[in-house]
Amino acid sequence: MVRNVGNVIDMKILHLANHCHRVGNGIVNVAVDLACSQSARGHQTAFASAPGEYVELLARHGVRYFEVDQRSRVPWRLTAASAALSSVLRRFQPDIVHAHMMTGAVLGKMFRPWFKYRMVTTAHNEFPRSVILMRVGDRVIATSAASASALVRRGIPKDKIRVVHNGVLDTPRLDQLSSGSALSLRQPAIVTVAGLYWRKGIADLIEAFDAVSRRHLNAHMYIVGDGPQRHEFQAQARHCFGHSRIHFAGFVPDPRPYYQQADIFVLASHQETFGLVITEARQAGCAVVATNVGGIPEALDGGEAGILVPPYRGDLLGSALVRLIEAPAELERLRRKARKNLEVFTVKRASAQTMDVYRELTTT
């Protein structure tokens, strides 16, 4: 039950995720950040998932870890996950179960009749059809206003949805990672940090750089991230005019050195609920160019903190990049704008607003 200790409401919060690996998964990163922040605020917080590198981090921040492997939808594995979660619920007795992925939402809903918790789900991505399963929560958190509207169109009741913009700045996850100060990018440097999927617009970015590289023979592009379409993008890059200046860096646990040395950060997504990497790039003072889709404008203060271009238009993206490279004063103006109003993107703020959603459920 919710406890009032010295006029501070103390909750027992259980986060459910498929895993806790440090592989650049934004959903896992947000869930881990929330758990650590809530524990720091004095709440009894636990994390249930398949094991991974973040187990040690969670322990350092006072978050209890329980192994509940929710990654597979094979029936016998789901049965094992159900049994493991049932045991966790009996031992931990949470006030709030917060599911960040579809399987956790279904399992959390299944045990509701036998336990006295309220359930919150976060729809980190509204693109899969299965996102409708997140409606099982008493409250459904959307990570942007644009995402909230999309969830309503997908059939999730509007009165269940609360918007909490993702917070990634000042995350505890990067406390122990190397700063990578030895990294040296060649300028002008264009950087993107993204999974190598079609929907991230990497093909459009490579098309854009073809135009940039013809005008600016010293420009370099750094693609930080990995994914299933890496080989296709590398094949496309080999046909680019400036192919020798396109660098596939792979997955980097701490991309801050790339942000810090970038002249321009680009996110060319075709779909994006929010765009965590944009706020990281802004903190480093990058000039940002991104597509006008989903929650990206919200991550750029409605477009005031960067340049927005249409998705799927590598030609327009290339033109925007060329203009910035050729206008140092405008580039510097965008760098200054990027650093403003960042307090709204901190883990602390996101955690506080998430706690407000919990209290709405536990005090009614």
pLDDT digits (tens, 9 = 90+) for 197-235: 999 999 999 999 999 999 999 999 999 999 999 999 999
Interacting residues of 334 by C-beta distance below 8 A, sequence separation 6+: 287, 288, 305, 306, 307, 324
CA distance 360 to 364: 7
Q: Which of 4-8, 128-132, 187-191 has the lowest mean pLDDT?
A: 4-8
Average pLDDT, the chain: 93
Delimit the domains of the chain by residue range. 3-167+346-362, 189-344
Structural domain 3-167+346-362, CATH architecture: 3-Layer(aba) Sandwich (3.40)
Same fold: 3-167+346-362 with 189-344: yes
Q: How far is CA 291 from CA 149, 168, 201, 211, in A?
A: 18, 20, 9, 18
* Backbone angles phi and psi of 292, in degrees to 5: -90, 70
What does the pLDDT read at residue 3? 55
What does the pLDDT read at residue 6? 40
pLDDT digits (tens, 9 = 90+) for 282-334: 999 999 999 999 999 999 999 999 999 999 999 999 999 999 999 999 999 99
Q: What's the token pair of residue 288?
A: 């940002």
Percent of the chain with pLDDT over 90: 87
What does the pLDDT read at residue 7? 40
Greater confidence, 98 or 183? 98
Asked if pLDDT for residue 89 goes beyond 80, the answer is yes
Taking only Cα atoms into account, the Rg of the chain, rounded to an integer number of angstroms, comes to 21
Give the strand order in the sheet containing 64-67. 64-67, 44-50, 12-19, 96-99, 118-123, 139-142, 161-163
Asked if pLDDT for residue 43 goes beyond 90, the answer is yes
Q: What average pLDDT score do residues 151-167 get? A: 95
Concatenated DSSP letters of 255-314? -HHHHHH-SEEEE--SS-SS-HHHHHHHHTT-EEEEES-TTHHHHTGGGTTSEEE-TT-H
pTM: 0.91
Q: CATH assignment of 189-344, given 3.40.50.2000, 3.30.70.260, 3.30.360.10, 3.40.309.10?
A: 3.40.50.2000
CA distance 72 to 81: 9
